[in-house]
Amino acid sequence: MEHKQETAFEKLNNAIRNSVSVKLISIGFLIAILLIPQSMIESLINDRQSNRYEAMREIYNSWARPLELNGPVLTIPFIELVDVNGKQVTKKRYAHFLPENLEIDGKVDPETRKRGIYEVIVYATELKLKGNFGKIDMSQFTAIPQGVQWDDATLTMGIPDMRGIQSSIDFELGQQTYRMEPGIPSKIELNLGQVKNNGNERNLQQQTGVNTKVAINPEAEKVNFKVDLNIRGTKTLSFNPVGKNTQVTLTSPWPHPSFTGQFLPNSHEVTQEGFKANWSVFDLNRNYPQQWVGMSHKIASADFGVSLYQPVDNYQQNERSAKYAVLILFLTFISFFFIEILNK
């Protein structure tokens, strides 16, 4: 029985059908074609995310930015003698003192604000601060007691975004009550610290906050204080542990907190009805002292607090789904490839 001789076309056809290289090239070509709509979907998701961030910035600018509370800080000016070209001249310096004890009890009430199809979490918070300053010892800074200007003592509190303040701030110090005024005088040389942004340091806080002139009794062993703050912010609420012993308690009906900063809560309770968290931070846990002169130290790098986390992010889920599409395409075609090779 004679065998029919294969034509050149049939030989080429069989070679292509049985070629592993051709099959791999074909699979790669099909995957590349199917990745085109997947990349278009990812591009659409990225565009929507960019629009979402822009909507968030617009709401931040209309409501208030994240709140980081710094203070209270007591500043006392004094005159010292310095040698300039062999002559004794006077120079005004500023000594800063932090509280011995600081207790903060806060309640965070979250709200959802919409801009188009986008949602942003904002909050209003009621903070009750109380504590005390210890005895003010100026002898460590100057040997001229008469050069201490007790009548020009200033009390300051750093608030990054003044638009968040919702009521007047009445600060009770000792037996007196003082109404805080806007701004922190640059002459008092109080460095609230710098915030890093994309690896570059720039002063985002710009010495913003409130201040008031206060009367200080140099003989007092302890001066108690108390102040209530009604402030709005967005997403994150944080504090700097300016007290030698700082105790913070926060409660909120938001069920998805994300604890941020340098210190986690000592204890916390999170339920569907909200959360409660307690922090306890001491002066040894931070990198600045209880008192200093001028801008030799800055209140920074020791903040802690909570962020109101949104667990359901549709854009994040869609982005993950789009990335899984690549894995599904590869697994599907590679499975068919091995089936074809094994079954010939």
Q: What is the pLDDT of residues 42-67, one digit of tens each?
A: 777 777 767 777 777 777 777 888 88
Residue 254 · residue 125 · CB < 8 Å: no
279 belongs to a structural domain: yes
Identity of the highest mean pLDDT range in 20-29, 119-128, 144-153, 242-251? 242-251
61 belongs to a structural domain: no
333 belongs to a structural domain: yes
Residue 75 · residue 219 · CB < 8 Å: no
Residues 25 and 150 in one domain: no
Query: Of 136-145, 153-162, 197-206, which range is least confident?
Result: 197-206
Distant-in-sequence, close-in-space partners of 217: CB < 8 Å, separation ≥ 6: 174, 223
Give residue 310's pLDDT band: very low, low, confident or very high (50, 70, 90): confident
**Higher-pLDDT residue of 6, 217:** 217
3 belongs to a structural domain: no
Residues 240 and 277 in one domain: yes
Give residue 254's pLDDT band: very low, low, confident or very high (50, 70, 90): very high
Residues 125 and 216 in one domain: yes
Residues 321 and 256 in one domain: no
Residues 191 and 337 in one domain: no
Residues 329 and 300 in one domain: no
263 belongs to a structural domain: yes
195 belongs to a structural domain: yes
Distances (CA, A) of 147 to 164, 218, 260, 341: 38, 13, 43, 93
Residues 295 and 337 in one domain: no
Q: What is the pLDDT of residue 97?
A: 94
Residues 204 and 136 in one domain: yes
**Model-level pTM?**
0.75
Residues 169 and 267 in one domain: yes
2 belongs to a structural domain: no
What is the span of the domain harbouring residue 24?
A: 8-49+317-343
Residues 116 and 209 in one domain: yes
Q: What is the pLDDT of residue 29?
A: 81
For residues 262-274, b (16+ Cβ closer than 10 Å) or e, as one string? Answer: bbebeeeeeeeeb
Question: Above 50 in pLDDT, residue 255?
Answer: yes
Per-residue pLDDT tens digits for 181-240: 998 887 777 877 544 443 333 344 457 899 999 988 888 889 999 999 999 998 899 999
Report the number of distinct structural domains present in the chain.
Answer: 2
CA 66 – CA 61 distance, rounded (Å): 11
215 belongs to a structural domain: yes
**Average confidence score pLDDT of the chain:** 82
Give residue 172's pLDDT band: very low, low, confident or very high (50, 70, 90): very high
**Higher-pLDDT residue of 134, 201:** 134
Judged on CB neighbours under 10 Å (0-12, 13-18, 19+), 233 is buried
